[in-house]
Amino acid sequence: MKTIRRITVWILKTGILLAAVSLAMSYFARYVHPAGTWLFAFFGLLFPQLVVLNLLLAVLWIIIKRKIFWLHLAVILPSFFFLPAYVQWRGGSDKAGQPAQGDEIKIITYNVHLFGINTAARTLQTLPGIAAFIGKEAPDIVCLQEAAVFDTAAVSRLFPDYPYIHFRPRRLFGKAWFITATLSRHPILNREVIVFPNSGNVCIYTDIAVHGQTVRVYNNHLESTRLNLAMSFSRLKEDTGRNEEIKRVTVRLRDAFKKRAAQVDTVAAHIASSPYPVLVCGDFNDLPMSYTYRKMKGRRHDAFMTAGSGMPSSFRSALPAFRIDYIFNDDYFKATRFYIPKVRYSDHYPAVAVFTNGELRMEN
Protein backbone atom coordinates (compact mmCIF):
# COMPACT_ATOMS: atom_id res chain seq x y z
CA MET A 1 0.00 0.00 0.00
CA LYS A 2 2.85 2.38 0.81
CA THR A 3 4.38 1.79 -2.60
CA ILE A 4 1.07 2.51 -4.34
CA ARG A 5 0.67 5.63 -2.25
CA ARG A 6 4.18 6.85 -3.15
CA ILE A 7 3.56 6.26 -6.84
CA THR A 8 0.21 8.06 -6.64
CA VAL A 9 1.78 11.04 -4.88
CA TRP A 10 4.64 11.14 -7.40
CA ILE A 11 2.22 11.08 -10.33
CA LEU A 12 0.13 13.82 -8.73
CA LYS A 13 3.11 16.05 -8.04
CA THR A 14 4.44 15.50 -11.56
CA GLY A 15 1.05 16.42 -13.02
CA ILE A 16 0.88 19.57 -10.90
CA LEU A 17 4.34 20.65 -12.01
CA LEU A 18 3.62 19.88 -15.68
CA ALA A 19 0.41 21.93 -15.61
CA ALA A 20 2.22 24.95 -14.16
CA VAL A 21 5.28 24.66 -16.41
CA SER A 22 3.14 24.17 -19.53
CA LEU A 23 1.20 27.38 -18.87
CA ALA A 24 4.44 29.24 -18.19
CA MET A 25 5.85 27.99 -21.50
CA SER A 26 2.75 29.13 -23.38
CA TYR A 27 3.54 32.75 -22.45
CA PHE A 28 6.72 32.60 -24.53
CA ALA A 29 4.79 31.57 -27.66
CA ARG A 30 4.16 35.22 -28.54
CA TYR A 31 7.79 36.26 -28.27
CA VAL A 32 9.98 33.35 -29.40
CA HIS A 33 10.40 32.97 -33.16
CA PRO A 34 9.31 29.43 -34.13
CA ALA A 35 12.22 29.13 -36.57
CA GLY A 36 14.49 29.00 -33.54
CA THR A 37 12.37 27.05 -31.06
CA TRP A 38 8.92 25.94 -32.14
CA LEU A 39 8.02 24.08 -28.91
CA PHE A 40 6.71 27.25 -27.26
CA ALA A 41 4.30 27.71 -30.18
CA PHE A 42 2.79 24.32 -29.43
CA PHE A 43 2.05 25.29 -25.82
CA GLY A 44 0.60 28.57 -27.08
CA LEU A 45 -2.10 26.58 -28.88
CA LEU A 46 -3.20 25.18 -25.52
CA PHE A 47 -3.14 28.48 -23.62
CA PRO A 48 -6.90 28.76 -22.77
CA GLN A 49 -7.10 25.13 -21.69
CA LEU A 50 -3.95 25.46 -19.56
CA VAL A 51 -5.36 28.54 -17.81
CA VAL A 52 -8.55 26.64 -16.95
CA LEU A 53 -6.60 23.56 -15.79
CA ASN A 54 -4.37 25.57 -13.45
CA LEU A 55 -7.35 27.51 -12.13
CA LEU A 56 -9.20 24.29 -11.32
CA LEU A 57 -6.13 22.87 -9.58
CA ALA A 58 -5.74 26.07 -7.54
CA VAL A 59 -9.39 25.84 -6.42
CA LEU A 60 -8.89 22.16 -5.54
CA TRP A 61 -5.87 22.89 -3.35
CA ILE A 62 -7.67 25.77 -1.64
CA ILE A 63 -10.59 23.46 -0.82
CA ILE A 64 -8.36 20.78 0.67
CA LYS A 65 -6.14 23.42 2.30
CA ARG A 66 -2.83 22.76 0.55
CA LYS A 67 -0.34 25.63 0.20
CA ILE A 68 0.64 24.46 -3.26
CA PHE A 69 -2.29 26.49 -4.61
CA TRP A 70 0.11 29.44 -4.62
CA LEU A 71 2.05 27.80 -7.45
CA HIS A 72 -0.99 27.78 -9.73
CA LEU A 73 -2.10 31.27 -8.75
CA ALA A 74 1.38 32.63 -9.45
CA VAL A 75 1.55 31.05 -12.91
CA ILE A 76 -2.01 32.18 -13.75
CA LEU A 77 -1.41 35.87 -12.96
CA PRO A 78 0.40 36.75 -16.24
CA SER A 79 -2.53 35.28 -18.22
CA PHE A 80 -4.63 38.36 -17.39
CA PHE A 81 -2.45 40.35 -19.82
CA PHE A 82 -3.33 37.95 -22.66
CA LEU A 83 -6.89 36.82 -21.95
CA PRO A 84 -8.50 40.01 -23.41
CA ALA A 85 -7.56 38.70 -26.87
CA TYR A 86 -9.73 35.65 -26.13
CA VAL A 87 -12.64 37.06 -24.14
CA GLN A 88 -14.38 40.43 -23.76
CA TRP A 89 -17.17 41.06 -21.25
CA ARG A 90 -18.70 44.20 -22.72
CA GLY A 91 -22.42 44.03 -23.48
CA GLY A 92 -24.51 45.57 -26.23
CA SER A 93 -25.83 44.48 -29.59
CA ASP A 94 -23.53 43.71 -32.51
CA LYS A 95 -26.17 45.16 -34.86
CA ALA A 96 -25.64 42.39 -37.39
CA GLY A 97 -26.95 43.17 -40.85
CA GLN A 98 -26.83 46.95 -40.36
CA PRO A 99 -24.95 48.73 -43.17
CA ALA A 100 -22.26 51.30 -42.49
CA GLN A 101 -23.54 54.79 -41.81
CA GLY A 102 -22.08 58.05 -43.11
CA ASP A 103 -18.28 57.92 -43.12
CA GLU A 104 -18.14 54.49 -41.49
CA ILE A 105 -16.26 51.64 -43.17
CA LYS A 106 -17.58 48.10 -42.82
CA ILE A 107 -15.37 45.15 -43.68
CA ILE A 108 -15.81 41.36 -43.70
CA THR A 109 -13.06 38.76 -43.82
CA TYR A 110 -14.18 35.22 -44.67
CA ASN A 111 -12.37 31.96 -45.49
CA VAL A 112 -15.03 30.37 -47.71
CA HIS A 113 -13.31 26.94 -47.95
CA LEU A 114 -13.70 26.71 -51.74
CA PHE A 115 -17.40 27.44 -51.28
CA GLY A 116 -17.93 24.01 -49.76
CA ILE A 117 -16.31 22.00 -52.54
CA ASN A 118 -14.50 19.71 -50.07
CA THR A 119 -17.60 18.85 -48.07
CA ALA A 120 -20.82 16.96 -48.64
CA ALA A 121 -22.61 20.30 -48.29
CA ARG A 122 -21.31 21.47 -51.69
CA THR A 123 -24.48 22.43 -53.56
CA LEU A 124 -25.62 25.11 -55.92
CA GLN A 125 -26.88 26.99 -52.85
CA THR A 126 -23.47 27.43 -51.17
CA LEU A 127 -22.06 30.29 -53.21
CA PRO A 128 -25.44 32.08 -53.55
CA GLY A 129 -25.93 31.60 -49.81
CA ILE A 130 -22.65 33.35 -49.06
CA ALA A 131 -23.56 36.08 -51.54
CA ALA A 132 -26.94 36.55 -49.84
CA PHE A 133 -25.29 36.77 -46.40
CA ILE A 134 -22.80 39.38 -47.62
CA GLY A 135 -25.59 41.24 -49.42
CA LYS A 136 -27.53 41.44 -46.14
CA GLU A 137 -24.48 42.67 -44.21
CA ALA A 138 -23.68 45.21 -46.97
CA PRO A 139 -20.01 45.80 -46.13
CA ASP A 140 -17.87 48.28 -48.03
CA ILE A 141 -15.03 45.77 -48.42
CA VAL A 142 -15.04 41.95 -48.53
CA CYS A 143 -11.86 39.91 -48.11
CA LEU A 144 -12.20 36.28 -49.19
CA GLN A 145 -9.71 33.46 -48.73
CA GLU A 146 -9.81 29.99 -50.31
CA ALA A 147 -12.29 30.86 -53.04
CA ALA A 148 -12.44 28.36 -55.90
CA VAL A 149 -10.73 29.71 -59.01
CA PHE A 150 -13.42 28.32 -61.32
CA ASP A 151 -16.02 30.35 -59.40
CA THR A 152 -14.49 33.73 -60.31
CA ALA A 153 -17.14 34.41 -62.94
CA ALA A 154 -19.87 33.45 -60.48
CA VAL A 155 -18.35 35.76 -57.85
CA SER A 156 -18.50 38.68 -60.29
CA ARG A 157 -22.10 37.82 -61.17
CA LEU A 158 -23.36 37.22 -57.63
CA PHE A 159 -21.74 40.33 -56.10
CA PRO A 160 -23.09 43.10 -58.35
CA ASP A 161 -22.66 45.70 -55.59
CA TYR A 162 -18.87 45.17 -55.73
CA PRO A 163 -17.69 46.33 -59.15
CA TYR A 164 -14.06 46.58 -58.01
CA ILE A 165 -12.37 43.22 -57.49
CA HIS A 166 -8.78 42.17 -56.82
CA PHE A 167 -8.22 38.44 -57.52
CA ARG A 168 -5.01 36.53 -56.95
CA PRO A 169 -4.90 32.84 -57.95
CA ARG A 170 -2.49 30.45 -56.22
CA ARG A 171 -1.84 26.75 -56.61
CA LEU A 172 -3.37 24.65 -53.81
CA PHE A 173 -1.07 21.87 -52.56
CA GLY A 174 0.50 21.49 -56.03
CA LYS A 175 -2.78 20.55 -57.75
CA ALA A 176 -5.96 22.65 -57.80
CA TRP A 177 -6.06 26.45 -57.90
CA PHE A 178 -7.76 28.79 -55.49
CA ILE A 179 -7.91 32.53 -55.08
CA THR A 180 -7.57 35.23 -52.47
CA ALA A 181 -9.88 38.09 -53.38
CA THR A 182 -10.76 41.58 -52.17
CA LEU A 183 -14.10 43.01 -53.30
CA SER A 184 -14.91 46.70 -52.91
CA ARG A 185 -17.81 49.10 -53.39
CA HIS A 186 -15.23 51.87 -53.71
CA PRO A 187 -12.66 52.39 -56.50
CA ILE A 188 -9.49 50.32 -56.35
CA LEU A 189 -6.45 52.45 -57.11
CA ASN A 190 -3.71 49.84 -56.91
CA ARG A 191 -3.43 46.03 -56.71
CA GLU A 192 -0.33 44.21 -55.50
CA VAL A 193 0.64 40.81 -54.08
CA ILE A 194 3.15 39.49 -51.55
CA VAL A 195 4.11 35.99 -52.67
CA PHE A 196 5.25 33.47 -50.07
CA PRO A 197 8.01 31.12 -51.31
CA ASN A 198 7.19 27.40 -51.48
CA SER A 199 3.60 27.96 -50.41
CA GLY A 200 0.12 27.99 -51.89
CA ASN A 201 -0.75 30.81 -49.51
CA VAL A 202 -0.51 34.50 -50.25
CA CYS A 203 -1.12 38.06 -49.06
CA ILE A 204 -2.67 40.63 -51.40
CA TYR A 205 -2.91 44.32 -50.63
CA THR A 206 -5.29 46.73 -52.26
CA ASP A 207 -5.33 50.53 -52.20
CA ILE A 208 -8.95 51.71 -52.09
CA ALA A 209 -10.38 55.23 -52.24
CA VAL A 210 -12.90 55.38 -49.38
CA HIS A 211 -14.62 58.62 -48.33
CA GLY A 212 -11.88 60.76 -49.81
CA GLN A 213 -9.00 58.82 -48.22
CA THR A 214 -6.80 56.11 -49.73
CA VAL A 215 -6.88 53.04 -47.48
CA ARG A 216 -4.57 50.04 -47.89
CA VAL A 217 -6.23 46.70 -47.12
CA TYR A 218 -4.04 43.64 -46.49
CA ASN A 219 -5.87 40.37 -47.15
CA ASN A 220 -3.87 37.47 -45.69
CA HIS A 221 -4.13 33.73 -46.02
CA LEU A 222 -1.25 32.32 -43.96
CA GLU A 223 0.08 28.77 -43.85
CA SER A 224 -2.26 26.06 -42.61
CA THR A 225 -1.32 22.88 -40.74
CA ARG A 226 -3.57 20.95 -43.18
CA LEU A 227 -4.71 18.67 -40.36
CA ASN A 228 -8.10 17.02 -40.00
CA LEU A 229 -8.53 17.02 -36.20
CA ALA A 230 -11.34 14.47 -36.19
CA MET A 231 -9.32 12.08 -38.34
CA SER A 232 -6.20 12.54 -36.23
CA PHE A 233 -8.06 11.84 -32.98
CA SER A 234 -9.55 8.73 -34.57
CA ARG A 235 -6.12 7.46 -35.59
CA LEU A 236 -4.65 8.17 -32.16
CA LYS A 237 -7.27 5.87 -30.62
CA GLU A 238 -6.04 2.98 -32.73
CA ASP A 239 -3.19 0.77 -31.53
CA THR A 240 -1.65 0.44 -34.97
CA GLY A 241 -0.23 3.53 -36.54
CA ARG A 242 -0.49 5.66 -33.39
CA ASN A 243 3.21 6.55 -33.35
CA GLU A 244 3.14 7.41 -37.03
CA GLU A 245 0.16 9.72 -36.50
CA ILE A 246 1.87 11.49 -33.59
CA LYS A 247 4.94 12.00 -35.77
CA ARG A 248 2.85 13.23 -38.71
CA VAL A 249 0.94 15.75 -36.57
CA THR A 250 4.12 16.99 -34.91
CA VAL A 251 5.88 17.53 -38.24
CA ARG A 252 2.85 19.33 -39.71
CA LEU A 253 2.58 21.64 -36.69
CA ARG A 254 6.32 22.37 -36.66
CA ASP A 255 6.48 23.17 -40.37
CA ALA A 256 3.37 25.36 -40.24
CA PHE A 257 4.67 27.31 -37.22
CA LYS A 258 7.91 28.04 -39.05
CA LYS A 259 6.31 28.94 -42.38
CA ARG A 260 3.74 31.26 -40.80
CA ALA A 261 6.48 33.04 -38.84
CA ALA A 262 8.44 33.73 -42.03
CA GLN A 263 5.29 34.85 -43.85
CA VAL A 264 4.19 37.23 -41.11
CA ASP A 265 7.71 38.71 -40.89
CA THR A 266 7.46 39.58 -44.59
CA VAL A 267 3.96 41.06 -44.36
CA ALA A 268 4.67 43.02 -41.16
CA ALA A 269 7.74 44.62 -42.73
CA HIS A 270 5.67 45.63 -45.75
CA ILE A 271 2.87 47.09 -43.60
CA ALA A 272 5.41 49.22 -41.75
CA SER A 273 6.25 50.98 -45.04
CA SER A 274 2.64 51.71 -46.05
CA PRO A 275 2.05 55.38 -46.96
CA TYR A 276 -1.68 54.97 -46.23
CA PRO A 277 -3.84 54.01 -43.26
CA VAL A 278 -4.10 50.23 -43.11
CA LEU A 279 -6.63 47.53 -42.34
CA VAL A 280 -5.08 44.08 -41.89
CA CYS A 281 -7.31 41.05 -42.04
CA GLY A 282 -7.60 37.45 -43.11
CA ASP A 283 -7.12 33.87 -42.03
CA PHE A 284 -3.91 33.75 -39.97
CA ASN A 285 -4.32 30.07 -39.01
CA ASP A 286 -3.01 30.89 -35.54
CA LEU A 287 -4.45 31.78 -32.14
CA PRO A 288 -3.86 35.03 -30.23
CA MET A 289 -1.18 33.40 -28.08
CA SER A 290 1.23 33.12 -31.00
CA TYR A 291 4.18 34.84 -32.64
CA THR A 292 2.00 35.26 -35.76
CA TYR A 293 -0.64 37.26 -33.89
CA ARG A 294 1.79 39.51 -32.01
CA LYS A 295 3.95 40.25 -35.05
CA MET A 296 1.04 40.98 -37.39
CA LYS A 297 -0.79 43.10 -34.85
CA GLY A 298 2.26 45.17 -33.93
CA ARG A 299 1.05 48.58 -32.72
CA ARG A 300 -2.30 48.13 -34.42
CA HIS A 301 -5.59 47.39 -32.69
CA ASP A 302 -7.51 44.12 -32.71
CA ALA A 303 -11.09 45.07 -33.62
CA PHE A 304 -12.43 42.29 -31.39
CA MET A 305 -10.61 43.68 -28.36
CA THR A 306 -11.86 47.20 -29.14
CA ALA A 307 -15.50 46.51 -29.98
CA GLY A 308 -16.25 42.78 -29.67
CA SER A 309 -17.78 40.74 -26.88
CA GLY A 310 -17.93 37.17 -25.62
CA MET A 311 -15.46 34.39 -26.37
CA PRO A 312 -15.92 33.82 -30.11
CA SER A 313 -14.45 31.17 -32.39
CA SER A 314 -13.91 31.87 -36.07
CA PHE A 315 -13.19 28.23 -36.90
CA ARG A 316 -15.95 25.64 -36.63
CA SER A 317 -14.34 23.53 -33.94
CA ALA A 318 -15.47 21.93 -30.72
CA LEU A 319 -12.81 24.02 -28.96
CA PRO A 320 -13.94 27.34 -27.45
CA ALA A 321 -12.20 30.64 -28.25
CA PHE A 322 -10.66 29.22 -31.45
CA ARG A 323 -10.24 32.60 -33.16
CA ILE A 324 -7.86 32.43 -36.12
CA ASP A 325 -9.46 35.07 -38.41
CA TYR A 326 -8.71 38.69 -37.54
CA ILE A 327 -9.25 42.33 -38.44
CA PHE A 328 -6.59 44.79 -37.24
CA ASN A 329 -6.53 48.56 -37.73
CA ASP A 330 -4.10 51.40 -37.18
CA ASP A 331 -4.85 54.64 -35.33
CA TYR A 332 -6.57 56.24 -38.32
CA PHE A 333 -9.56 54.01 -37.58
CA LYS A 334 -11.60 53.25 -34.49
CA ALA A 335 -13.62 50.02 -34.33
CA THR A 336 -17.19 50.61 -33.18
CA ARG A 337 -18.61 47.15 -33.89
CA PHE A 338 -17.18 43.65 -34.22
CA TYR A 339 -18.92 40.31 -34.41
CA ILE A 340 -18.60 36.79 -35.83
CA PRO A 341 -21.90 35.59 -37.32
CA LYS A 342 -22.49 31.83 -37.00
CA VAL A 343 -23.27 31.16 -40.65
CA ARG A 344 -22.37 27.62 -41.71
CA TYR A 345 -21.32 27.89 -45.33
CA SER A 346 -17.66 27.09 -44.61
CA ASP A 347 -15.40 25.52 -41.99
CA HIS A 348 -14.76 29.13 -40.90
CA TYR A 349 -17.12 31.81 -39.68
CA PRO A 350 -16.81 35.33 -41.12
CA ALA A 351 -15.49 38.20 -39.02
CA VAL A 352 -17.19 41.60 -39.38
CA ALA A 353 -15.97 45.01 -38.20
CA VAL A 354 -17.20 48.59 -38.57
CA PHE A 355 -14.84 51.55 -38.25
CA THR A 356 -15.04 55.28 -37.91
CA ASN A 357 -12.14 57.71 -38.15
CA GLY A 358 -9.84 57.43 -35.14
CA GLU A 359 -8.39 60.14 -32.96
CA LEU A 360 -5.24 60.45 -35.07
CA ARG A 361 -7.08 61.31 -38.30
CA MET A 362 -4.79 61.73 -41.29
CA GLU A 363 -5.63 64.57 -43.63
CA ASN A 364 -5.58 64.26 -47.43
Residue 91: its pLDDT value, please?
A: 67
Gyration radius of the chain over CA positions: 22
For residue 247, with 0-12 CB atoms within 10 Å meaning exposed, 13-18 middle and 19 or more buried, which class applies?
exposed
Q: What whole-number percentage of the chain has pLDDT above 90?
A: 58
Residue (of 224, 220, 344, 236) closest to 286 by Cα position: 224
Mean pLDDT rounded to a whole number for the chain: 86
CA dist., res. 11 & res. 151, Å (int): 56
Helix, strand, coil % over all residues of the chain, rounded to 5? 40, 25, 35
Whether the Cβ atoms of residue 83 and residue 310 lie closer than 8 Å to each other: no
Q: Flag whether pLDDT at 364 surpasses 80.
A: no
The CATH architecture of the domain made up of 105-357 is 4-Layer Sandwich (3.60)
Most confident by average pLDDT, 53-62, 201-210, 243-252: 201-210
Q: Are strands 141-148 and 105-111 parallel, antiparallel or unpaired?
A: parallel
Write down the pLDDT at residue 171. Answer: 63
C-alpha to C-alpha distances, 187 to 132, 141, 169, 271, nearest whole angstrom: 22, 11, 21, 21
Residue range 4-47, pLDDT digits in tens:
767 766 777 788 889 999 999 999 999 999 998 999 999 999 99
pLDDT at 359 over 60: no
pLDDT band at 362 (very low <50, low <70, confident <90, very high): very low
Q: Which of 138-142, 157-161, 226-230, 319-323 is the most confident on average? A: 138-142
Q: Identify which has the larger pLDDT, 318 or 258.
A: 258
3-state secondary structure of 353: strand
User: Which sequence spans correspond to the domains of the chain?
Assistant: 2-81, 105-357
pLDDT of residue 9: 63
Q: Render pLDDT for 50-109 as a digit per residue (tens, 0 to 9).
A: 999 999 988 888 887 777 788 888 999 999 999 999 999 876 556 677 878 888 999 999
Whether the full predicted model's pTM is greater than 0.85, yes or no, is yes
